Structure 1
Amino acid sequence: MVGAVAGVLGLAPWLITGARLPLQNLWATLEGPDRMPLALLPLSQYSLVTIVVLLVVGGAAAGITLRIWNPTRHRTTVKYAAAALCAVQLAAVTQSFTVLHAGLMGGTAATIYVLGLLLGTILSLAASITLLLLLASRSRTTVALAIGILAVPLATWAVEWFIGLAGPMDLPSWLPIISRWLPAITIGCTLAWFGLRSVRDAGVWITNLALLWLVPALFTTINVVFGTRVSLGNPGEMLRLGQQILATTLGADGGAAPVVLLALIIAILGTGTRLIAARITTPTTGRPPAST
């Protein structure tokens, strides 16, 4: 039940939109958005990040649930949850690609298009199962690193809920602010929970802050490169465009420094607060004074 419900929960932001397959450049017939077939995944070169997020958050939801539940037969329960998650997500992938393949025009371009989407989707499925296993782990280090990977996709998933409920044209002005700063808050709170007691812990801090810097840049690069029709289908031009966008978003002008700094400040303040609280609540012990 945990795996199945988590799989559906991950897909929910797309399902509430009506789950109509996005318009396709290579569609065999001319159709409007309301006449496209139903698809459980938004298969399109313009929705690659969304596909990743819908699948990855499903796996993360199952992992977090198992972590909180902490069942007695932990390993067996994790296996069953992973199997159920795979069943739900593979069913969604199979249905969506069947609909896509049936509606596309024939030819080499359509074949390359489907294979490219399928490769990205398979990698997303693998990431989903990996996050389930990491977040269900009883190791604090493993869980902290997994949340570092999850922070940006989780914020994107939350934004997809608003898009699904309000529509892409009626989004509130504060939504981009939440999308930008929520991962920093998530990672900062995670590091404060994890603590800083050793060099190994410092490595976890550095890794999570690096992920906060890198993952948004990768998502932006994917959206721009595969959403630019001028370069689409030209590997050399796509590679050059990707390098330019990635360098810009990772550089000083990309705006990542304030986000990483906020996460670091929250982590330091949270860790300090925990240490002070622990000292206050821990009674001091000492040798009683000698009797006279």
Structure 2
Amino acid sequence: MIGVGAALVGLAPWLVSGARLPLQNLWAAPTTPDDMPRALLPIGQYHLLTIVGLLVTGGAAAGTVLRVWIPDRRRTVTGSAVAGLLAVHVAAAAQSLTVAGSGLSAGQTARIYLVGILAGVVVTLAAAVVALLLLSAASRTTAALGVGLVAVPTALWAGEWALAFAEPFEVPAWVHLAIRWLPAVLVGCALAWCGLASMRRRAVWLVDLALLWLVPPVFDTVRTVVGTRVYLGDPGAMLTLARDALSSSLGPGGGSAATVATAVVIAVAGLLVRAALRRRRSST
């Protein structure tokens, strides 16, 4: 039930928004957004990152519940949670891909499109399971590593909640700002909780900060490449576009450095607070 419930929590912002299949470039018949069929996942080339946020956050929610609960039969309960999570995720993916496939125009292009979407969904399902296993682990370092993995997808999930109730231009600026810095806050708090007492924990700091630096540019690159119809069918041009977009995102003008710096400041501040509390308890 934990796995099923967490999967539904992950899908919640999409379900609340109406769960209409996004308009498809390869749709067989002219239609409007309100006439599109219902789908449990937003299948579409412009919504791949939304799928990542919905599925990975579900895995993160299940892992967090298990980490807080600390069941006696940890392996058995964790395995059951993975099964429940995958049951919902696989059912949602199958229903959505079936609905999308039934309405797409016939031809090789549509088949390649569906296979590409399916591949992305399968990779995301695996990432959701990894997130669950990392966050539910007994080791504090492993759980902190899991936070680094899910920080950016969680921000994507939070952004979907904002869009579920308003158009993008209607979302207040402070909401966009909070979502923008949410990964840095999550990673910073996780690193402060993890600490620096061993080489393993220091390695987790490096990995989490590296993920915080690399994942947003990679996601931005994916959004740019799959959202550009001009280069579809031209692998060479798409690779060039991906390289240029990634270089631009990682360059001085990108926001990753500021995000990493913010996480470091939060982590160091958290370590200082923890040290002060320990000294206070020891003195009393």
TM-score, structure 2 normalization: 0.97
What 5-or-longer segments of structure 2 have no aligned partner? none
Secondary structure of the corresponding residue to residue 253 of structure 1: coil
CA distance in 1, matches of 2:170, 2:242: 30
Query: How far 1:98 moved relative to its partner?
Result: 0.7
Question: Residue 84 of structure 1 corresponds to which residue in structure 2?
Answer: 84
Q: Which 4+ stretches in 1 moved above 4 angstroms?
A: none
Q: How does 1:273-284 map to 2 (within 5 A)?
A: 273-283=273-283
Question: Residue 268 of structure 2 corresponds to which residue in structure 1?
Answer: 268
Query: How far 1:17 moved relative to its partner?
Result: 1.1
Question: Residue 93 of structure 1 corresponds to which residue in structure 2?
Answer: 93
Secondary structure of the corresponding residue to residue 253 of structure 2: helix
CA distance in 1, matches of 2:208, 2:46: 28
Question: Residue 35 of structure 1 corresponds to which residue in structure 2?
Answer: 35
Question: Residue 60 of structure 2 corresponds to which residue in structure 1?
Answer: 60
Deviations 1:228-256 (A, max 9, x none): 11112221111111111111111111122
CA distance in 2, matches of 1:139, 1:200: 11
Query: How far 1:89 moved relative to its partner?
Result: 0.6
Question: Residue 114 of structure 1 corresponds to which residue in structure 2?
Answer: 114
**In the alignment, is the contact (CA less than 8 A) between 2:89 and 2:125 conserved in 1?**
yes
Deviates more, 1:174-183 or 1:24-33: 174-183
Question: Residue 205 of structure 2 corresponds to which residue in structure 1?
Answer: 205
User: Does residue 185 of the first structure (1) align with residue 182 of the second (2)?
Assistant: no
Question: Residue 3 of structure 1 corresponds to which residue in structure 2?
Answer: 3
Q: Which has the higher helix share?
A: 2
Query: How far 1:283 moved relative to its partner?
Result: 4.1
Deviations 1:48-76 (A, max 9, x none): 10011111111110010011011111111
Deviates more, 1:274-283 or 1:27-36: 274-283
Q: How does 1:218-237 map to 2 (within 5 A)?
A: 218-237=218-237
Deviations 1:58-106 (A, max 9, x none): 1110010011011111111111111111111111011001101100111
Deviates more, 1:68-77 or 1:108-117: 68-77
CA distance in 2, matches of 1:193, 1:154: 19
CA distance in 1, matches of 2:126, 2:243: 25
Secondary structure of the corresponding residue to residue 62 of structure 1: helix
CA distance in 2, matches of 1:185, 1:60: 16
**In the alignment, is the contact (CA less than 8 A) between 2:141 and 2:200 conserved in 1?**
no
**In the alignment, is the contact (CA less than 8 A) between 2:136 and 2:143 conserved in 1?**
yes
Question: Residue 49 of structure 2 corresponds to which residue in structure 1?
Answer: 49
CA distance in 1, matches of 2:113, 2:271: 48
CA distance in 2, matches of 1:169, 1:254: 23
| Number of matched pairs | 284
CA distance in 1, matches of 2:20, 2:212: 32
Which letter does structure 1 place at the counterpart of 2:109?
A
Which letter does structure 2 place at the counterpart of 1:87?
A
- Cα RMSD (Å): 1.1
CA distance in 1, matches of 2:179, 2:278: 33
CA distance in 2, matches of 1:213, 1:34: 38
Which letter does structure 2 place at the counterpart of 1:197?
A
Question: Residue 215 of structure 1 corresponds to which residue in structure 2?
Answer: 215
Secondary structure of the corresponding residue to residue 202 of structure 2: helix
Secondary structure of the corresponding residue to residue 59 of structure 1: helix
**In the alignment, is the contact (CA less than 8 A) between 2:53 and 2:155 conserved in 1?**
no
**In the alignment, is the contact (CA less than 8 A) between 2:63 and 2:135 conserved in 1?**
yes
Which letter does structure 2 place at the counterpart of 1:199?
M
Q: Percent identity?
A: 52
Deviations 1:1-48 (A, max 9, x none): 111111111011111111110001111100100000000000000001
